[in-house]
Amino acid sequence: MASCLVGNPATATGRIHPVTPGQETPAQAPASVTVIGTVTDLDIETSTITVKSDTGEVVVFPYDDKSQFKRLPLGKTAMADAVPITLAEIELGDRVTAKKRLTPTGSVAPITLMIVMSKGDIAKKQEIERAAWRERGTFGKVTAVDPAKRTITVSQRTREGLKELTIVTNDKTTFRRYAPDSVKFSDAQPSRLEAIRVGDQVRALGKRNEDGTSYEAEQVVFGTFKTLSVTVVNVNADSQEITARDDSGATLTLRITPDSNLKQVPEQGGFFGPPGGQRPGGPPSGPPAGEGPRPGGTGGGPGGGRFMAGGFDPAALIEFLPPLQLSELKPETKLLVLTTEGATPNRVTAITVVKGLDTLFARFARQAGGAAGVGGGGFGGLELGIGLP
């Protein structure tokens, strides 16, 4: 009779002890957690796939002959559209989704199913998304937020000066806020309308009304940043820092990180190219296919074609400027810098650093007959916009 009690939570008398509510017994199946991330290692010898999740967790997934792998084609989102692939078709950098299940001993159980999106498809998807933001996007600095009406009012710089645009949102509009030290769209986190503040920078994807006064948004990305006009005092390549003074004469330290975007306007006119032309490797000077001429567009290469339908877009221009090396900066060089709002006012993280914009703005002023609103004294109050997603 004793043998029939083996495996039961019982005493030698055979009386079963009640299980405390919420107490897990060894017979219960362990919970699973969905992991979404990027493949960082494939080890055939140990039969494991290492994934760095979007939350920062590193998960080493074992696999066996029962594990299944499927690829989700570009443009598809339903799991029914996923097609079977072999392990050999998975590459470093691919995006994957898999369930992390723990065994009773606490180790990660072998994969049952891993859904894969290739890094090539990811690149294509990102370019499609960026094209959509270029063609249908708008941007500006927040001047008012009305949660009751679900509207955001932004100020935009145009050839005729500053103008306001009302961005209309609804229950289907998605919101994302940039991380404090980053303008990478991939770092932006889900947010809500109520989190947007006056002074924030906003990009929205949607559709403008016929008279151009309002804009119905499908997506809104925003962040709190500050644009500074500074003059270089000293450069420390070892610590990756720039000591500079702002227009008020105050000294501050700009911290350069691997994610900092350093750009420069060439001293010679080669960046702009001939009228109506295109810089090698740069964007076409005209509007995207299917669009008419943009209001105020000059067609003089990237420098002359950044007055888009929504106004002047510094970020779209800066994207195509050639890189700047920290070692190239000399004392008394003028810079325009996009920074985070740090806890220490005189020490900030530099997100975008651009050299030579004073020369660029002088060209804009000449092209616009002095009415561009970006010439004038210094940098004309221009703010570096957050980059395209």
Going by C-alpha positions, the residue among 280, 278, 335 that lies closest to residue 303 is: 278
Contacts 24+ apart (CB under 8 A), 88-94: 89/116, 90/39, 90/42, 90/49, 90/114, 90/116, 91/39, 91/118, 91/119, 92/39, 92/40, 92/41, 92/42, 93/38, 93/39, 93/119, 93/122, 94/38, 94/39, 94/118, 94/119, 94/122
Query: What are the tokens at 125?
Result: 């998807």
Query: What are the tokens at 1?
Result: 């009779």
Please report which confidence band the pLDDT of residue 356 belongs to, taking 50, 70 and 90 as the band edges. Answer: confident
Going by C-alpha positions, the residue among 303, 314, 307 that lies closest to residue 279 is: 303
3-state class of 137 per DSSP?
A: strand
What local confidence, expressed as pLDDT, does residue 123 receive?
A: 84
What local confidence, expressed as pLDDT, does residue 221 receive?
A: 93
Please report which confidence band the pLDDT of residue 186 belongs to, taking 50, 70 and 90 as the band edges. Answer: confident
Mean pLDDT value of segment 246-267: 88
Q: Give the separation between CA 282 and CA 263, rounded to whole angstroms.
A: 14
Between 314 and 36, the higher pLDDT residue: 36
Going by C-alpha positions, the residue among 199, 192, 178 that lies closest to residue 147 is: 192
Mean pLDDT, the chain, whole residue set: 77
Mean pLDDT value of segment 13-34: 52
Q: Give the separation between CA 65 and CA 374, rounded to whole angstroms.
A: 64
What local confidence, expressed as pLDDT, does residue 30 receive?
A: 52
Which of 91-105, 120-134, 228-242, 246-260 is least confident? 120-134
What local confidence, expressed as pLDDT, does residue 271 receive?
A: 47
What local confidence, expressed as pLDDT, does residue 81 receive?
A: 86
Query: What is each CA distance from 5 to 1, 13, 104, 358, in whole angstroms?
Result: 7, 9, 21, 86
Type and span of the H or E element at 304: helix 301-304
Using the 8-state DSSP alphabet, how is residue 372 labeled? Answer: S
Strand order in the sheet with 58-62: 58-62, 48-53, 32-43, 95-101, 113-117, 68-71, 83-84
Mean pLDDT value of segment 84-96: 93
What local confidence, expressed as pLDDT, does residue 131 receive?
A: 85
What's the pTM value of the predicted model, to 2 decimals? 0.61
For residue 143, count other CB atoms closer than 10 A to its CB: 14
Please report which confidence band the pLDDT of residue 312 belongs to, taking 50, 70 and 90 as the band edges. Answer: low
- Maximum mean pLDDT: which of 176-180, 183-187, 229-233: 229-233
Q: Give the separation between CA 389 and CA 376, rounded to whole angstroms.
A: 31
* Residue 153 near residue 144, CB atoms below 8 Å: yes
What local confidence, expressed as pLDDT, does residue 86 receive?
A: 93
Q: Give the separation between CA 54 and CA 163, rounded to whole angstroms.
A: 38
What local confidence, expressed as pLDDT, does residue 373 receive?
A: 40
Between 367 and 318, the higher pLDDT residue: 318
What local confidence, expressed as pLDDT, does residue 382 receive?
A: 61
What local confidence, expressed as pLDDT, does residue 185 receive?
A: 75
Q: pLDDT, tens digit, for every residue of 359-386?
A: 666 565 555 444 444 333 345 556 676 7
Between 123 and 220, the higher pLDDT residue: 220
